[in-house]
Amino acid sequence: MTETIPVTDSHGTVPVADPNQPLVSVRDLEVTFRTQNGPVNAVRGVSFDIFPGETVAIVGESGSGKSTTATALMKLLPGNGGISGGEVLVEGTNIVDHDEKKMAAIRGGVIGYVPQDPMSNLNPVWSVGFQVREAIRANGVASGKKEIEARAIEVLQQAGLQDAERRLSQFPHQFSGGMRQRVLIGIGLGADPKLLIADEPTSALDVTVQKVILDHIESLTKDNGTAVLLITHDLGLAAERASKVIVMNQGRIVEAGPSKDLLTNPQHPYTQRLIAAAPSLASRRLESTSAREEGADAATFDMAQMAERRAESVDADAAPVVSVKNLTKDFSIRKKGFRSEPFRAVDTISFDIPKGTTLALVGESGSGKSTAAKMILGLEEPTSGEITVNGTAMTGVSRKDLFKLRSRMQPVFQDPYSSLDPQRSIASSIAEPMRVHGISDKSVRRERVLELLDQVSLPAELFNRYPNELSGGQRQRVAIARALALKPDVVVLDEAVSALDVLVQAQILQLLADLQAELGLTYLFITHDLAVVRVIADNVAVMERGKIVESGSTDEIFESAKQPYTQRLLDAIPGAGLDWGV
């Protein structure tokens, strides 16, 4: 057993692991899943150590085995999976053969867990307070109603949730994404664990909220000497937050080492591919494959020249495909009793999107960017203002004309889990827009679905599968394929690549650039990831509290932002100041 050193904190005397001995030691870990087609080895020969107070990041694309490795440390694998070889030593004890009773003593108190999706990991029918109190009770941190209540308030306050006592009676749907994530962090840290496993804890959050959350995790874990295992597809975040990075591919560790060394001088080809695919503030506007091939060979390729040529190709005098003038949206928010107060979500915004270009609408959660997109799609009625698409006004048109307009405008929504019907096959989901808009020939729809699967880098064998059989990244690619089914003029992408790892993200962004060049598509790109904006957008509009506070070309915004709010967004990008390798 690892030697422990007694220290005293607000909860009494707790054992602290010897900093010279690993808190967790994984040796030759093998994880196997039983499937209809035989066993699948998801994790193969994985070995690493985590020391007290250390932050270790595991990075890799979807399906690389990083989340499976993390859940194996807690023995929370799905029913068809299990540890088939190796050791997992927690404080010197191998837990591979532990039963549920022994594991219950480890989960929460020794190893805490913050899962990826805060909405699907909080029960919508239970109050936040009930769920926090249940976790505290299960971990034996406190006993008695008053003591448990006090600890519940304390852990939410520690996780950065304001007015924690009042919030206990509220439900998850009444919280923003950042607030829900804070609740999960509070639950994960509620028993003062020695190791916190954080699985993509901020992937769905905007950069400023992400920074606040990660800063808070860092301060809490540093104060308590807690180690952190960070699972992420964001290389910038891994480099900025972890002292050591482990790179996984196809269930194996292909490279590991100090984060700065690994990311500035990667040795393995897979790591080099990951870093090359990661967008950064140093990136330039992504060009189509055909433009690169025509412009120059790899030895003489000049991104700046390509950007100039792209700007010259846009007809500045042509009528914009999308034009928004003084657009406003008010909602009624119910306060105490029956009294309602108006809330202005979008406040007199105006912008144009020329044909064949991409406008990025950026801002923090609640800034109004998604509400603006819904009005452009005809899913929300504006309070006032004008929207025209290809010269046709969206306001005041008949339902028949609005239906026709929608065939030329298609959305890709943020959440890959809720945007697909779980009872429809992948082929049925992609073909749905074609059925709705009168393409009745099944053979035509089938061929188009197969073509779209190939375009978004999904294998044809997914044709008859269902969403629950796909990863989050794969589901989002299906959603993108569905949006492209009708070959629309305008595509509204609401956080369309936020759930994707960097390699798949790079493929999708390249696909969007190629389709834009080939078909003259116009994009409204809504995102919190400003590094992605750098490579996909021609122009940027920055929203704060319903207003556009700054707009201009992508180069103007990124190189000489005038508003403090815009500069704050740029400064919050993970890894912005790092010198990347490759």
- Residue 220: give its domain's CATH number: 3.40.50.300
Judge if 435 and 536 occupy the same domain: yes
Name the residue with tokens 């809720």: 418
Judge if 257 and 322 occupy the same domain: no
Round the CA-based radius of gyration of the chain to a whole number and report it. 25
Assigned domain for 580 exists: no
Residues 6+ apart with CB under 8 A from 24: 49, 50, 73, 88, 89, 90, 111, 195, 227, 229
* Domain of 91, in residue numbers: 18-277
Judge if 243 and 363 occupy the same domain: no
Judge if 225 and 327 occupy the same domain: no
Assigned domain for 383 exists: yes
Assigned domain for 288 exists: no
pLDDT number for residue 456 = 82
* HEC per residue, 454-470: HHCCCCHHHCCCCHHHC
* Separation CA 410–CA 484 (nearest Å): 7
10 Å Cβ neighbour count for 376? 23
* Separation CA 521–CA 535 (nearest Å): 16
Of the candidates 409, 304, 316, which has an alpha carbon nearest to the alpha carbon of residue 357? 316
Assigned domain for 577 exists: no
Judge if 317 and 383 occupy the same domain: yes
Judge if 185 and 310 occupy the same domain: no
Judge if 512 and 556 occupy the same domain: yes
10 Å Cβ neighbour count for 314? 12
Judge if 272 and 385 occupy the same domain: no
Number of domains in the chain: 2
* Separation CA 181–CA 159 (nearest Å): 9
10 Å Cβ neighbour count for 451? 12
Name the residue with tokens 């001995």: 21
The torsion defined by the Cα of 305, 308, 313 and 317, in degrees rounded to 10, comes to -170
Name the residue with tokens 């025509």: 294
Assigned domain for 225 exists: yes
pLDDT number for residue 386 = 93
Judge if 262 and 351 occupy the same domain: no
Assigned domain for 286 exists: no
Judge if 238 and 358 occupy the same domain: no
Assigned domain for 287 exists: no
Contact 46, 84 (CB under 8 A): no
Q: pLDDT (tens digit, 0 to 9) for every residue of the chain, 582 residues total? A: 333 333 333 333 334 456 678 999 999 999 999 988 888 899 999 999 999 989 999 998 878 899 999 999 999 998 888 999 999 999 999 999 999 889 988 988 899 888 876 667 888 899 988 989 988 888 777 778 888 899 889 888 877 777 888 888 888 888 877 778 888 888 887 788 899 998 888 766 777 777 877 887 788 778 778 899 999 877 878 888 899 999 999 999 999 999 888 888 889 999 988 888 777 655 566 676 766 666 544 434 444 454 555 555 555 566 799 999 999 999 876 655 556 678 898 999 999 999 999 999 998 877 888 889 999 988 888 999 999 998 888 877 888 888 888 888 899 887 767 788 999 999 999 999 999 988 878 999 999 999 999 888 889 999 999 988 887 778 888 998 999 898 888 999 988 887 677 787 888 888 888 888 888 889 999 987 788 888 889 999 999 989 999 999 999 998 889 999 998 888 877 766 555 554
* Phi and psi angles of residue 190, each rounded to the nearest 5 degrees, phi first: -60, -30
Return the beta strands (E) in 51-118 as ranges: 55-59, 81-90, 93-94, 111-114
pLDDT number for residue 290 = 65
* Separation CA 88–CA 80 (nearest Å): 19
* Separation CA 191–CA 108 (nearest Å): 6
Assigned domain for 70 exists: yes
Judge if 101 and 205 occupy the same domain: yes
The secondary structure element, H or E, covering residue 43 is: strand 38-50
Judge if 241 and 361 occupy the same domain: no
